[in-house]
Amino acid sequence: MNSIPYGRQYIDQDDIDAVVSTLQSDFLTQGPIVKQFEDQFSAYIGAKHAVAVSNATAGLHLANLALGLKKGDRIITTPITFAATANSARYCGAEVWFADIDPNTYLLSLDSTRNLIESKPKGFFKGIIPVDFAGLPVNMEAFRALANEHDLWIIEDACHAPGGYFIDSKGKKQRCGNGSYANFGVFSFHPVKHIACGEGGMITTNSDELYHKLVTLRTHGITKAAMSKNHGGWFYEMQQLGFNYRLTDIQSALGITQLAKNHKGVERRNEIAKKYKSVFKDKIKYQDLPQGFYNAHHLFVIEVEQRKALYDFLRTKNIFAQIHYIPIHTMPYYKQIGYEGADLKHAENYYSKCISLPMYPNLSETEQDYIINTIFEFLNE
């Protein structure tokens, strides 16, 4: 069997044609294709605004900055996520506090978050960054209610979940990152994600004010909006310290064609997940799917007792599973700033057993059968 990674991009001829067309155009960056991608992405997600950025880490950083996060402030997030989720707050000088996960959905626990908030004086925390881990949507309606009780903002890290959604208490479909309950949604266009741009990210919001902050912060804090009759068309002002976090037209062209395929891609991911579940049911634990939720399935995670042995065995069979994630609070950097010994038992137990199986739209049935049979071969030894 050929090498089977845990995730991979799928590039076909229309993607290649779009990139070549852009390479032959007048603009390679800061051109019309970026805005086209933003408009199509916001329409797909159902948010008023979308701002394309160089990567999702940049998106998280700008979202924190736009909400005024600064040194001495504190936010809450999950320990089971890529380090960028927490690091983005650290870039602003803020403290990161971790609440535990739900042991069945692997998402940030609402109860654990509530307990952490209520253990401190009002105003101690500024915001919450829940993560739609593996593609499963967080119940943003419930988190919004909690945030409103304590005057907190929310950034939804939806990097795993374009195309995921849940049905809220009013019976309305709420797509991940649509801004109905969060101040911002942030998405990733890394090659192993749903929409591959090489690198790239998107921030979504329904706030005009926050949108304009993002656009300025993305481009060095510079704006041309303050032109006057005393200046020519060259005039611009740097109004604040911003960053060069822009996406190129080349990447945006690829993003547009990739976005057009995401609906079918997510459907295929769910077909793959359904097959995994059908054979693992009552034998191997996997992520719960609450009623009314639709998982976009960036990942398919199982839990096994002999995780390291299974990981190694799969590699001998050319199956390159992965581990998502080492809990952030156990990283040396975060230990050094005070997280060693944190009581996050569900996150740590999950990490001791988790392994992500191959999950991408062009995974063939033959390959999936081979993966499944290899896992049972290991378990039955």
Q: Give me the pLDDT at residue 226, please.
A: 59
The answer to whether the beta carbons of residues 162 and 187 sit under 8 Å apart is yes
Query: Is the full-model pTM beyond 0.85?
Result: yes
Could you please state the CATH topology (level 3) that the domain comprising 263-379 is classified under: Aspartate Aminotransferase, domain 1 (3.90.1150)
Nearest CA to 177 out of 152, 205, 149, 196 is that of: 205
Model pLDDT for residues 86-129, shown as the tens digit of each residue? 999 999 999 999 999 999 999 999 999 999 999 999 999 999 99
Q: Give me the pLDDT at residue 45, please.
A: 98
Q: Is 259 helix (H, G, I), strand (E, B) or coil?
A: helix
Q: Give me the pLDDT at residue 233, please.
A: 77
Q: Give me the pLDDT at residue 29, please.
A: 93
Instruction: Give me the CATH code for the 4-261 domain, please.
Output: 3.40.640.10
Model pLDDT for residues 24-40, shown as the tens digit of each residue? 999 999 899 999 999 99
Q: What DSSP line would sit under 46-110, residue for residue?
A: T-SEEEEES-HHHHHHHHHHHTT--TT-EEEE-SSS-THHHHHHHTTT-EEEEPPBPTTT-SBPH
- List of the chain residues with pLDDT < 50: none
Q: Which one-letter DSSP state was computed for residue 28?
A: S
Q: Give me the pLDDT at residue 227, please.
A: 57
Domain boundaries, the chain: 4-261, 263-379
